[in-house]
Chains A and B, each alone.
Chain A
Amino acid sequence: MNITLTVNGKKRTAEISPDDFLLETLRSLGFKSVKRGCDTGSCGLCTVLVEGKPVLSCSYLSARADGHEVTTIEGAGEEAKKVASALVGEGVEQCGFCSPGLVLSILGMKKELGKGATDDQIKNYLNGNLCRCTGYEGQLRGIRQYLEV
């Protein structure tokens, strides 16, 4: 089947199977920032925004994205770069493999919780975004800095 979706502001058509997930569809369309970290929807690496809200693209059927607006980090613009810079400023992108998903989740979080999010709210919101390199504390420092600016 064919679906038409808007990725990063541009209309794209993709030929998919009904059981395809958005992660593979996006990667096959060339959006290589979308990473797979597990098979169980547990790691948050594949996070993209659908209509501005973070979803796990590994468990979001491509067919559901038909007619919707999808944002990957390639299209998330200057705001994403501000988040990324705040993380890099603390050295907490490290291997970088989980960073695109984390940055998009932070964008979604700011939209939902605003600048005044507490540390606990931040941790809760981002709990599904795993990272094995940093121990998370530096990421919290970076996120706070981004929210405060």
Chain B
Amino acid sequence: MKVIGKSYDKKDGIRLAMGAPAYTEDLYDTKSHLTVKLLRSPHPFARIVNIDTSAALALEGVVAVYTHYDVPKTQYTRAGQNFPEPSNYDKRMLDEYVRYVGDEVAIIAAETERAAEEAMKLIKVEYEVFEPVVDAEKAIGHPSVIHPEGVVEKIPSGVDVENNIAATYVLAYGNLEDAFSKCTHVVEHKYYTQAQAHVMMETHRSNAHLDHNDRLVVTTSTQVPFHARRILAHALDLPVSKIRVIKPRIGGGFGGKQALHTEFYTAFVTLKTGRPSMLTYTRKEAFESTYTRHPMVFTYKVGADDAGIIRAIKVNGISDTGAYGEHARTVFSAACLKVISMYNKMDAFDFEGNVVYTNRTPGGALRGYGTTQGVFAIESAINELAFEMGMDPCRIRELNHTAEGETHLVYRAFGSDGIKKPLKLIENNKMSTCIEHGKKLIGWDEKYGKPQVNGNKVRGVGMALSMQGSGIPSIDMGAAIIKLNEDGSFNLMMGATDLGTGSDTVLAQIAAEVLSVPLEKISVHSSDTDVTPFDVGAYASSTTYITGTAVINAAEDIRSQILNEGAAMIEEAPEQCEYDGERVFCGEKSINLADLAMKLLYVKNQKQLVGHGSHVTEKSPPPFLAGFAEVEVDMETGEFEIIDYVASVDGGAILNPKLALIQMEGGLVQGMGMAVFEDVKFIDGKLKTNSLLEYKIPTRSDVPKITVDFVESYEPSGPFGGKSVGEVCINTPSPAIADAIFNATGVRIRKLPVTPEKIILGKMGYDV
């Protein structure tokens, strides 16, 4: 390997770090753009009885104000998923009903931001206010029905609008009663995970204009440009051919941009007025009016026999999708599929639950995508079971986790989606090594069961496991095109979406490796629906694994064309020739790549060489991770510090160690934020944590010592052995830290986040 496995800098790194104008708001002279602002609902649930926009329209500089009377009535989902979408069509651009504080009421287009803001104050809205549904556990059967007009199910999800149910999910295997009867130890507890906010540094924004061919061009900070094009076409009743979506550089996503938010409004304003327009969400809007991680409640009943084999698991869950069902069923099913799959010695399991509508900021995709929530519950329950059995938590995992060459029980189970999943072997699973390494790195055997006491301070360790996927099997598709230029350099064009993760660079490394050329010979252009081939976008830990293989296919295609054309140029049979990245040769006869490329364009056998490739697979090889935390707690105040965090991960072969490490560290810290303070809070249905003053994310002083250990691994179906690391890293901090707190203090926290107050209340005997 010449290029793969090396820590190259991101291709765009230095220009971005030096402030190059590369993001949505930087690319156009927005002085000529209309500023778009959205008037939002102050009520968690209401019907708009009357809107008077006359005073706003009379204001100088205001170009248009649109209300629900003016926009298409089409229902759609904002979730950027494959077609047909597994999320309900339950949202309209503007609706007669508003379903949470922050829901859209009117669109204002003005010459300046000031005029737009002034106009917003002048719109008079009369509401009929309803009793909101604020508690997910009381949503079913609540007298308020959040979607009285019904929703459209593209894929049957068990929706029941009368009962505020957005989706139902059931998966069962074996005879549960029998299985529990064989258990000598059973624990049953209820676990709560809170809503988390993405807080990508660049909030959602888009920019729309009509090009010289009268086509709509939307430049947007998105993770899903191709889904954005398709969903806009549906929502605006435009042919796909009339829309171009461009993703420029973007300031982070974390799942928050696996959706459309601003795009409907800029596109609509530009179509109506013919003028270019720009909408940038404020931080408050990003908190209040996009979406959060779905909060969930799980009751886990887990049973084991005397030998420590987990024989039975029963789960009841509720997921709160808020006002709209974006990613509702799929996030919840991931909380089953990618969680239960970690263990496979059970005789039976049963997972069932509902995703409910409430009148809060919608739930949506956030790194970890349901697995994070499920892992907190199952890993906490197994830690409780191990404690009750007097068993080392590592030991119970070693006895029960799915191992290499085995299969997941979910493939043998029957689910409410009616789809029988093909039985798949997990060819590559280094979980055992992860546990072994992690134990050594944290000093588990010296520390577990022996809390260190120093005055008021007590130290404890805790651990948890996690897996994720690498792409959505049989659904996620990526494609790539590679063309040869006259100097022997290549353009690599992909729909894949680099959010700042460095995927453009990693995918270029793959192309360079296959073509045996240095990385600088590959120029990347990505995420432009007019220019690049299709890709589902950046989500589900798919880009390296799925698009990476598409790039291999495209590179192999053009590599064989180079060999053929080179052979023709030196008048030899291709099977007698070789290509080594610099030249095509046969014995003494050779032509170098740049000469060949120049001749092909200008002199002889003229043609443009273009290679292309796509990739889709029924596999989704999971990455595996063992996480270990050490904490120090002040027993008087409950204040605690994370002293050390170890994550030992099997992400397959690592294609760019530096960039993989930063994915891991970043995800671990985002997971720690969720574990110990991040908490989206509402008061009377209104979001309290709507600014960075109210919602704290980790700062550099909050970060403990972190050790990331990549275990040796090679995924046979992946590009050069790669799988993924982008999401699996966020899942273990919550259960591992909660267990470390328990091992230090004896207080078991089952409601995230883990806080000093809960430790003190727990000591006093409250359920926390």
- B-contacting residues of A (Cβ < 8 Å)? 28, 32-35, 37-40, 42-43, 45, 72-74, 80-81, 84-85, 87-100, 103, 123-124, 126-140
Residues of chain B within 8 A of A135, CB atoms compared:
662, 665-670, 698, 703, 706
> Closest Cβ of chain A: how far from B496's Cβ, in Å?
15
Which of the residues A35, A85, A129 comes within 8 Å of B14, measured between beta carbons? Answer: A85
Check B251 against A35 for contact (C-beta < 8 Å).
yes
Given contacts A39-B283, A131-B201, A137-B665, contact A81 B699 (CB under 8 A): no
Check A133 against B202 for contact (C-beta < 8 Å).
no
Residues of chain A within 8 A of B703, CB atoms compared:
135-137
The 5 closest A-B pairs by CB, nearest first: A33-B19, A95-B500, A96-B16, A97-B251, A135-B669
Check A132 against B700 for contact (C-beta < 8 Å).
no
CB of B57 within 8 Å of the partner chain: no
Check B18 against A94 for contact (C-beta < 8 Å).
no
Residues of chain B within 8 A of A97, CB atoms compared:
23, 201-202, 251-252, 500
Given contacts A43-B201, A133-B500, contact A96 B700 (CB under 8 A): no
CB of B562 within 8 Å of the partner chain: no
Provide a sorted-by-A list of 30 A–B residue pairs whose CB atoms are within 8 angstroms.
A33-B18, A35-B201, A38-B691, A40-B283, A42-B693, A72-B19, A91-B13, A91-B662, A93-B13, A94-B252, A94-B500, A94-B501, A94-B662, A94-B666, A95-B250, A97-B202, A97-B251, A98-B201, A103-B17, A124-B701, A126-B700, A129-B700, A130-B699, A132-B200, A132-B252, A132-B697, A133-B500, A134-B666, A135-B665, A137-B665
> Closest Cβ of chain B: how far from A139's Cβ, in Å?
7
Given contacts A100-B17, A134-B662, A135-B703, contact A38 B502 (CB under 8 A): no
Closest to A139 in B: B700
**In the complex, which residues 485-538 of chain B have their Cβ closer than 8 Å to any Cβ of chain A?**
499-502
Given contacts A94-B502, A131-B201, A132-B670, contact A87 B700 (CB under 8 A): no
CB of B767 within 8 Å of the partner chain: no
CB of B692 within 8 Å of the partner chain: yes
- A-contacting residues of B (Cβ < 8 Å)? 7, 9-10, 12-14, 16-23, 25-26, 31, 198-203, 249-252, 254, 282-284, 499-502, 658-659, 661-662, 665-670, 691-693, 697-701, 703, 706
Report the Cα distance A40→B689, complex, angstroms. Answer: 13
Residues of chain B within 8 A of A34, CB atoms compared:
19
Residues of chain B within 8 A of A73, CB atoms compared:
18-19
Check B17 against A87 for contact (C-beta < 8 Å).
yes
User: Can you add 11 more A-B contacts, CB < 8 Å, to A40-B691, A95-B202?
Assistant: A37-B692, A94-B252, A94-B662, A95-B249, A95-B251, A99-B18, A124-B701, A130-B697, A132-B697, A135-B666, A140-B700
Report the Cα distance A148→B23, complex, angstroms. Answer: 32
Which of the residues A28, A91, A140 comes within 8 Å of B10, measured between beta carbons? Answer: A91
Check B13 against A90 for contact (C-beta < 8 Å).
no
Check A95 against B706 for contact (C-beta < 8 Å).
no
Report the Cα distance A35→B17, complex, angstroms. Answer: 12
Check B691 against A81 for contact (C-beta < 8 Å).
no
Closest to B252 in A: A95
Check A138 against B252 for contact (C-beta < 8 Å).
no
Residues of chain A within 8 A of B666, CB atoms compared:
94, 132-135
Residues of chain A within 8 A of B200, CB atoms compared:
95, 132
Residues of chain A within 8 A of B701, CB atoms compared:
123-124, 127
Closest to B29 in A: A30
